[in-house]
Structures are given as structure tokens and as C-alpha cells.
Structure 1
């Protein structure tokens, strides 16, 4: 049985504006990346990260990762989705996903702590 492929999309730790997230640090974020990947594997998913910056190249990076990986589910993290300054980036990412992988389900978490639940909603 194939494990569902999940592309986890988020901001690279170097691209995060930590002034907007005062309880977050590079170390905490990178630990969360590792924890999510480990939990996804334990839950039976083949998951990998697509960590982007916030520049014009981010949608192209996402497109390439989608083409290379062909995920069943794409999860876009709260860091991209909830920052009003990143609305255009989020919108562009949704359009890239729907164009490149129209059969992929799209999931959203509210924090790293509910990522597996967000993936599982669409893996059934």
C-alpha cells in the first residue's frame, strides 16, 4: 500500500518576520519542521517540506516541488496563510497548486500542533 504523499508548504526560517510572531524563534520553528515531518511519517504519510521565501520566486519553487513530488495532499501552513502581508503570496500558491496538481487535496493547519489532523481530514 502506498503512503499518501504530502507536500508541507511553509516559510523558510530565514524568511519569517519574527517581530510578527514574538513567541517564535528560528530554533523553535526549525524544531517544529522536524517534529511535523516525524509525526507525519509515524502517521503513515510520505511528507516533505517546501520551504520558501516571500519573494517572487516562491511560487516557482512551489511549482517545481509539486512537479517533482506529485503530492496527494498539499498543506499550506498558517505562517503563509494568516499574515495579511502575505495574502498575494498565499493566493498565488493556491493558484499554482490548482494548476499544477488539480487532483491534490489542499489542507490548512492553524499551527504546527494540528498539522497531522489537517492532513488526515483529506487522506480518508
Structure 2
């Protein structure tokens, strides 16, 4: 667990918000080579299902790439429910063209959900591992 040995403790709420770019929102040619939007959708759904199968509650938020629209969506979700951990997917964090979107998401989370713990996966398949690092 990432919080072990850290002055930053685990999440105080066991609700997870899993944020990823909706596969259909990627511009043509922007998905990794050999990966289709349909295949990415299946991977994301499997990753989220693995989290849910372990009894972790929360929401899957598949957003577009427009920072203003993403902010509005996330603010609505954060005002309706309290989350202890947010998992921000690699399509947001690892693609240089999504830097502005990533910055906006982090700043919205800092503003609207003080104390939320940030988790990062490297693929949809290791989402559960990423979330577990910050759950109590």
C-alpha cells in the first residue's frame, strides 16, 4: 500500500471514482497501435469489474477530451457523492496531448474534493492494484 510508511494516510471513504477517456472520444489514430475503441472499452469495463468484484463501491466516469466539459462532469459527480480515492487512467496521464485535461482534472479534484487520494494505473487490467494502494 502506498500509504504505509507515508505521512499521507489512506482514504477515509471507501468510494472510488475511476476516470478515463471514453474510447470513442480519442481522435482517429490516437489509440495505441493495434487497439480499437471496442477493445479498449472491454479492457476498461473488465478493470472496473475487477474493482467492483472485490466489494469496492464507486463510479466509472468515462469523459471526453474537452477540459471544460470534463470539469463540469466531475464537479457534478463530486457534488453528488463523496469519494475517497480517484483513479486517473493512463489515457489521461500518459498522452502528451492530454496534459491540459490531466491538469484540469487534478485541480478540480484538489478544489472540489480536498483529501481525496489519487491512484494511477498503467493499464485497465491493474486498476484494482492501483486502487488498493490507497484504500484502508
Q: TM-score, normalised by structure 2?
A: 0.83
* Aligned: 1:5 with 2:19: no
Q: TM-score, normalised by structure 1?
A: 0.90
In structure 2, distance between residues paired with 1:23 and 1:44: 33
- Give yes or no for contact 1:18–1:25 (8 Å, CA) kept in 2: no
In structure 1, distance between residues paired with 2:24 and 2:80: 23
Give the alignment of 1:1-124 within 5 angstroms.
Answer: 4-17=14-27, 19-20=29-30, 21-55=32-66, 56-124=68-136
CA RMSD of aligned residues (A): 1.5
Structure of greater relative contact order (alpha carbons < 8 Å, 6+ residues apart):
2
The structure with more radius of gyration: 2
Unaligned runs of 5+ in 2: 1-12
In structure 2, distance between residues paired with 1:4 and 1:29: 26
